Structure 1
Amino acid sequence: MPNLGGWELIVLLGVLLLVFGAKKLPDMARSIGQSARVFKGEMKGLKEDGKTEDREPEPARTSALPVVDAPAPTAQMPVVEAERVR
């Protein structure tokens, strides 16, 4: 692919300015930058996920709060028979 020189970049920016307008270009550049940032973060996350598969799993973390068993129910709920609709 040929390299773009100074004049080619100026012509390209001029065409973009004519096609999209001056108000849309900053928004488009901002959205492209955000997309690139998200893509880079996702790729970094995928690389880290691949590294953790090779290592041993970490031990389960315990909570600092004591575990309290819930009391057993003392009585059952009364069973109500449904009335027949005629």
Structure 2
Amino acid sequence: MGSLSIWHWLIIAGLFVMFFGAKRMPDAARSLGRSLRIFKSEVSQMQSESTTPANAAPVQQPVQELQQAPVAQPQATIVQPQATVAEPQAQPKSL
């Protein structure tokens, strides 16, 4: 009584076809398959990234090395405005 028999599955499948239509069922199954493939690839990519040491936290430099490092001063640059060429104005026609 706790398990579903073949008749139960057929009734459930018939209800799905009746509610969603036979034309939408292949598209829905295809979309579900794509979603599962994308999910699996993302999970495997996350697992491979977590096992590589490249994602480890960067090693912090001691404070003494940071204080001794020279600080680059920003250079001021002078920007000259470019001369613009005025377009000739249209002169009114005389009558």
Give the TM bin, normalised by the shorter chain: 0.5 to 0.7
In the TM superposition, residue 33 of structure 1 has moved relative to its aligned partner by 0.5
The share of aligned pairs that are identical, in percent, is 33
The question of whether the paired residues in 1 share the 8 Å contact of 2:17 and 2:25 is answered with: yes
Q: CA RMSD in A?
A: 3.0
Structure 1 match to 2:34 = 34
Letter in 1 for 2:80: V
TM-score (norm 2): 0.53
Q: How many aligned positions are there?
A: 61
2-structure distance, mates of 1:78, 1:47: 51
Which 5+ residue runs of structure 1 have no aligned equivalent?
57-76
Structure 2 match to 1:9 = 9
Structure 1 match to 2:80 = 79
In the TM superposition, residue 53 of structure 1 has moved relative to its aligned partner by 2.8
Pair 1:50–1:25, CA change in 2 (3 A) = same
Greater RCO (Cα-Cα under 8 Å, separation 6 or more): 1
In the TM superposition, residue 79 of structure 1 has moved relative to its aligned partner by 2.1
Structure 2 match to 1:47 = 47
2-structure distance, mates of 1:5, 1:40: 31
After TM superposition, the structure 1 stretch with the greater mean CA deviation from structure 2, 45-54 or 12-21, is: 45-54
Pair 1:17–1:81, CA change in 2 (3 A) = closer
Which 5+ residue runs of structure 2 have no aligned equivalent?
57-77, 84-95
- SS of the equivalent of 1:34 reads helix
